[in-house]
Structure 1
Amino acid sequence: MAITRIESIKSKLKQSLDYIMNPDKTDGKLLVTGGNCAPEVAYWEFKMTQETCNFVIGDRATKSKNLGYHMIQSFDKKDKITPEEAHSIGIELAEKFIGSNHEYVVTTHIDKGHIHNHIIFNAYSYSTYRKFNCHKNVFKEIRVISDELCKENGLSIVEEPKGKGKHYKEWLENKKGTSWKSYIKDTLDELIDKVNSFDELKTEMINRGFEINIAEDIAVKAPNQQRFCSGKTLGDKYTVESIIKRINDKKIDKKEAY
């Protein structure tokens, strides 16, 4: 079973690309592939396309603040998929969904308990000079392609949820009970690697559509989630104190590296 999601990138595009291409997460960058661009210079190719679009169509290219989009495809441990198989499926997903209209980078992360793909693609199209239209059915389109690829590769899928109007992730939460927590934890882990302060982390979470409450501790609610999850229920690593320590420890490690 593969679970997919898509998020917009409104800032820190370079940091997002650096994060998904981290050699420690991608087997020394062996699990990194570029589509319509070279991964090593993907950020600059994204920027060149953005500037070209702005020049060609002017203000119409700046109405949306999105610089790119970040797709995540997570595989179930029970499927026992190899990193190479997961990466191949991620590439096929990108080719089918994005095609030749946008630059993109596909990576496979193997540093956690579950193998998962990251796909970042340019919001601007180098072929049409227009920005990607992230309409309400985009999530479903990605899931349909992902499910087809899983079937072709002998992997399990989530059957279509019954009931009209119910969000797919909401249905998963009701069925599995833990998917919202995993989603929040994965997002926090990703951002802790990028940001330099707790306030910056809160801003980035809000930009992605999360709601944040700070009382005795942090409480987070994902887009379309009905209830907040407190840091304590997410685990010891996700209290305010622990998050701040992780951010500070990361900064110390970077300084020592130099």
Structure 2
Amino acid sequence: MAYVKVGQIKVTLDKAVAYITNPGKTMDYRLVSTNTGNEVNDSKGIADTFIRNIEHTKGGAKRNGAVLAHHIIQSFSPDDELTPEEAHSLGVRFVRELTGGCHDYVIATHVDKGHLHNHILVCPTNNLTHRNMRVQRNTLAYWRGISDQLCRENGLNVIDQRRARPAPQLNELYLTAKGVSRKDNLRAIIDQACAKAKTFDRFIEKMNDYGIEVTVRGRHLAFTEIETGRKTRDDKLGVNYNELSIMSKLDRHTLNVVSFNQAMIAERGGGKIKVWLPNTQRQLLLTIPVDRLVRDGKTWRAYLPDDARQVLTDPNGAYAKTVPCDDLYQWFSRPGIRIADYVQRHIDPTAHRNLHGRLKEEAIACDRLAESLDELHALGQVLDAGTTRMDMIDDLTVKVEQGAARMQSLIVAIADATGRNDIVAVNQLETQLDEERAATDRNARDVLALQRILERDQQKNADKQQRQRQENVRPKPRKNAGR
């Protein structure tokens, strides 16, 4: 007998393909098949073929909420006398029948659990009509019917799908409704990965082994379940699971964080980087091991032990002095600092009047963006997080945070270049700042627009409810009145 369930992949399709085709779970790819024309071990090639087909549809793969693949899991009972090869062959027949031979797919049979099961990724786009497959309420029942028929033909029992899963206990329903069970499971996985890793890169590898992809999104981490594509941001798990806390768990120390733009990097190699200290006329450098670094595009964050003194060197590499870790904030901006204050403190307003005014204006804009995040986070807690609009608000909020963080690092770098009178570097960094600000402003305006729409909808609903209440209390006219 076989049980069938389905989900959607909306991000990191190549990771999903790599996950299901894992050679350790598929007898070294022997239990993997695809009709895309790619080698079964070429996860990126298979994913790219899916994406190329989806691009023929309206909006393409980059359309908001676009489904990149339908993920079907066909699980067999341990009681079935079925070999891995037979389970795989049955799965191939199953996917060919439900797609009518008009959709690309990849299927992998896993043998690493107590029961055989097929993971099937189906491209939603029809190769002939270039229309997307619609998964509706009755689609899953239809697919299960196909699987049941194949099971009967192969002498396997067929289960009652309505009783395929035991009825959950009341406390399980409550936890699932609140989203606690999944989050607790994710917290446990993060803790296990931290216990087995000492560097951030190794942590990411361990999380990937557990089926979770970790991405740096501004000052937040995003955890994506590779199998389902479901995302959870670190602030949804609590402060013990943000980037700083995870780095502290890996390092087993209390850490301080300093951020800088890559323009401040003087040298890279040998498992370390050397960073110019801002506002020192490039006379002091800080050496940082790469295992203490997290990179987000051109913005870098270094996590340094609070109880260790930091050694500073001159441009020739000679020892200059040591300082407590917290003293580094006299050069770098402290997390949460108002950038306008930093610019005011580190730039002589009489030396570069025009530039100073420009930087101050940009810094104030950056601070306003940061301040608006509190309102956006509050909106996300109040409104229904499961709506499409809220999903969009969450995504845009992350982009605003990313932009604000990059703007912060760029402004510090510009302040340093201005102090050195390096006009070439200033111009280059200002160009980057213009681009960053334009993109961040656009995202912020989109979020505020969505907020206004949601507020109007709420007001309409409130007005409607008020009218209904008034109609309910209004006395009804008596029959034969006035006769």
- Cα deviation digits, residues 36-70 of structure 1 (max 9, x gap): 5433331221122122x14xxx4488465111111
**TM-score, normalising length: structure 2:** 0.37
Distance 1:155 1:209, change over 3 A: farther
Question: What is the identity, as a one-letter code, of the residue corresponding to 1:16?
Answer: A
- In the TM superposition, 1:77-116 aligns within 5 A as 77-116=78-117
Which secondary structure state, in structure 2, belongs to the residue aligned with residue 124 of structure 1? coil
Q: Does 1:173 align with 2:166?
A: yes
Question: What is the identity, as a one-letter code, of the residue corresponding to 2:15?
Answer: Q
Match of 2:54 in 1: 50
The CA RMSD over aligned residues, in Å, is: 3.8
Distance 1:127 1:86, change over 3 A: same
**2:54·2:60 contact (CA, 8 Å) conserved in 1?**
no
Matches of 2:122 and 2:29 in 1, distance apart? 18
Matches of 2:88 and 2:165 in 1, distance apart? 24
Q: Does 1:193 align with 2:174?
A: no
**CA deviation after TM superposition for structure 1 residue 100, in Å:** 2.0
Distance 1:113 1:214, change over 3 A: same
Matches of 2:144 and 2:208 in 1, distance apart? 22
- In the TM superposition, 1:15-94 aligns within 5 A as 15-38=15-38, 39=40, 40=42, 41-51=45-55, 53-54=56-57, 58-59=58-59, 62=63, 64-94=65-95
Matches of 2:117 and 2:155 in 1, distance apart? 17
Percent of pairs with identical residues = 29
Match of 1:248 in 2: none
Question: What is the identity, as a one-letter code, of the residue corresponding to 1:92?
Answer: R
- Between structure 1 and structure 2, the one with the greater Rg is 2
- Cα deviation digits, residues 224-258 of structure 1 (max 9, x gap): xxxxxxxxxxxxxxxxx9xx99xxxxxx9xxxxxx
Which secondary structure state, in structure 2, belongs to the residue aligned with residue 97 of structure 1? helix
Q: Does 1:11 align with 2:8?
A: no
**CA deviation after TM superposition for structure 1 residue 202, in Å:** 6.1
Matches of 1:194 and 1:133 in 2, distance apart? 27
**CA deviation after TM superposition for structure 1 residue 204, in Å:** 6.8
Question: What is the identity, as a one-letter code, of the residue corresponding to 1:88?
Answer: S
Give structure 2 stretches of 5+ with no counterpart: 177-181, 190-206, 251-290, 292-483
**1:93·1:149 contact (CA, 8 Å) conserved in 2?**
yes
Distance 1:19 1:156, change over 3 A: same
**CA deviation after TM superposition for structure 1 residue 115, in Å:** 0.9
Of the two structures, which has the highest relative contact order with CA contacts closer than 8 Å and spacing of 6 or more? 1
Match of 1:164 in 2: none
**CA deviation after TM superposition for structure 1 residue 174, in Å:** 2.1
Corresponding residue pairs, total: 203
Match of 2:474 in 1: none
Give structure 1 stretches of 5+ with no counterpart: 162-167, 219-240, 246-251, 253-258
**TM-score, normalising length: structure 1:** 0.65
- Cα deviation digits, residues 173-215 of structure 1 (max 9, x gap): 3299xxx99xx78xx89883341279533677996499xx858
Which secondary structure state, in structure 2, belongs to the residue aligned with residue 173 of structure 1? coil
